[in-house]
Amino acid sequence: MPEGPEVETVRRSLVDVVVGASVQDVWQSSLPLRMAKPQASLQAFVGSTVVSLERKGKLLWLPCRDNTRSDVRGLLVRLGMTGQLRLHAPTDDVAKHTHVRIVLQPRIGTVQELRYVDPRRFGDVAGYHDAATLKAQVEALGPDGLTLSANEVLAAAAKLRTTTRALKEALLDQRWLAGVGNIYACEALFRARLSPWRRGVSLSPKEAVCLVECCRDALVHGLEHNGTSFSDYVDARGATGGALAHLWVFQRETLPCKQCQQPIERRDQAGRSTFFCRRCQHARPTSR
């Protein structure tokens, strides 16, 4: 499932072609995206120009300017579990599970198609028609985990110490930090040497700050390797990310811990797999 580093890698691989391009045509499949919600028509974007390509957490958006109207509106993209945003030549074969095709005339070069492919259809490509709608979606998210400021680290740490939830579950809450999913939550907890089952309220101020910084560091490390590919994730050109080989615990069940050689374990936690090292990650507070 694409998390902050994967979505940022996709954004970077698209930006040169997409920004400044005009939308020449849009095709949508008849199948509903984002679970059972019917797809809204994107035909209104034909004739508009993509102004920029933005990201916060796992949310991507493309503000567009309509040449006949002066307002800026745009497209919101969520990659969900298995979504891919790919650039193609219009003559390329259309892959199975392609749900949206946007024909773009870039500022420089030939016409390209931005295609949204999503076998499980948990993601979405949706239009927004006013700034307030976009703002509501963006502001529902916590600060972006990849670009945390010193003040945002302190605020996120303080908030973490008020929750009775298990740390792993708290880290996945996009209202707290945007962009941390299962991969980087497991990695951050290992880096901070904390048990995924510790409660937020059990953390000392120092432990909480350390964990937030470890979230940011795990995300930045993932981005440096162009994201983690272990199932569907690829960038807009179809390239896989290289972070998997450099992770501490994620997808390393039974392999020796890179710190202490104890086998990494995997356990279900709130419906998701948690990977951890029993020896390195403390179940009890170490200092208060």
DSSP lists the bridge partners of residue 27 as: 101
- If 0-12 CB within 10 Å is exposed, 13-18 middle and 19+ buried, where does residue 207 land? buried
Report residue 44 CA to chain centroid gap. 27
- Of 41, 162, 259, 286, the one binding Zn ion by CB under 5 A: 259
| 2 counts as catalytic | yes
How far is 8 from 227, CA to CA, in rounded Å? 9
Does 170 interact with Zn ion (rule: CB under 5 A)? no
Q: Which is nearer to Zn ion, 43 or 262 (CB)?
A: 262
| 3 counts as catalytic | yes
Q: Which is nearer to Zn ion, 260 or 270 (CB)?
A: 260
Q: Which of 2, 5, 63, 143 is catalytic?
A: 2
- Of 79, 160, 180, 277, the one binding Zn ion by CB under 5 A: 277
- Of 257, 269, 275, 276, the one binding Zn ion by CB under 5 A: 257
Judged by CB under 5 A, the stretch of 75-83, 181-189, 198-206, 250-258 that binds Zn ion is 250-258
Q: Which is nearer to Zn ion, 34 or 258 (CB)?
A: 258
Q: Which is nearer to Zn ion, 234 or 277 (CB)?
A: 277
Q: How far is the CB of 262 from Zn ion (least distance, A)?
A: 5
How far is 47 from 35, CA to CA, in rounded Å? 29
| 58 counts as catalytic | yes
Site for Zn ion, rule CB under 5 A: 257, 259-260, 262, 277, 279-280
Residues that are catalytic: 2-3, 58, 272
